[in-house]
Amino acid sequence: MYIIVVGGGRLGYYLAKALLDEGHEVLIVEKNAIICENIVEEMGSVCIRGDGCETATLDEVGTGRADMLIAVTGDDEDNLVACQVAKHKFNVPRTIARIRNPKNEAIFKKLGIDVTVSSTNIILEHIEEEVPTHPLTHLLTIRDKGLEIVEVKIPPGSTTVGKPVKELSLPPESILPLIIRKESKPIVPTANTILQAGDQVIAVTTPESEEALRTALRGA
């Protein structure tokens, strides 16, 4: 695949490296001449100096034949425009924008960007995972279906410990596909599976039902 990466900062640099390792044809477009030189010196001629939001630059780098454009500059508005230009001027099939302000996720979606990756949200989620008392961890969001996969830890002393799954009052749109248990194989729970302290319950739910799910699994 031919992939254009707009922005040669830390994210663009490591992204390009990873994509090159996977065997893709990669080109970084970076405004800053010094950053550009450093990349070329290290990785070869995979970086061109220019403004990735400019039609002329994108034309020059052959965006017309690109399979994907990924905009990872530090400015949300630049990433938006780079993706829109790629999409509407050059018909690039897939555009991905990094966003820093999580609020922009909905806006970008509405403005036609295929995929957005919110670096702030991802960092937050990872930190959440490391906070041991955090009752519910987001693992994955299936955005176009409005679903998410979360993990709920069952602490000792929860009122639900010892109860079978069928007795939990789960919110209607939530299902439990997996329970990860210490020193045992992961299990696919049935109606009669008994919850144990320390279980990591993986659930599919909706953002609206998160609270109800947490209560159902851990007790009030």
Binding interface with another protein (CB under 8 A)? 53-56, 75-78, 80-81, 84-85, 88-89, 101, 103, 107, 110-111
Closest distance to another protein from the beta carbon of 100 (Å): 11
Closest distance to another protein from the beta carbon of 76 (Å): 7
State which residue, 63 or 137, has the beta carbon closest to another protein: 63
Closest distance to another protein from the beta carbon of 7 (Å): 13
State which residue, 68 or 82, has the beta carbon closest to another protein: 82
Closest distance to another protein from the beta carbon of 106 (Å): 8
Closest distance to another protein from the beta carbon of 111 (Å): 5
State which residue, 67 or 77, has the beta carbon closest to another protein: 77
Spatial CA neighbour of 207 closest among 122, 139, 146, 125:
146
State which residue, 86 or 204, has the beta carbon closest to another protein: 86
State which residue, 103 or 143, has the beta carbon closest to another protein: 103
State which residue, 99 or 176, has the beta carbon closest to another protein: 99
- b (16+ CB within 10 A) / e for 34-68: ebbeebbeeeeebbbbbbbbeeebbeebebeebeb
φ/ψ of 158, rounded to 5, equals -65, 145
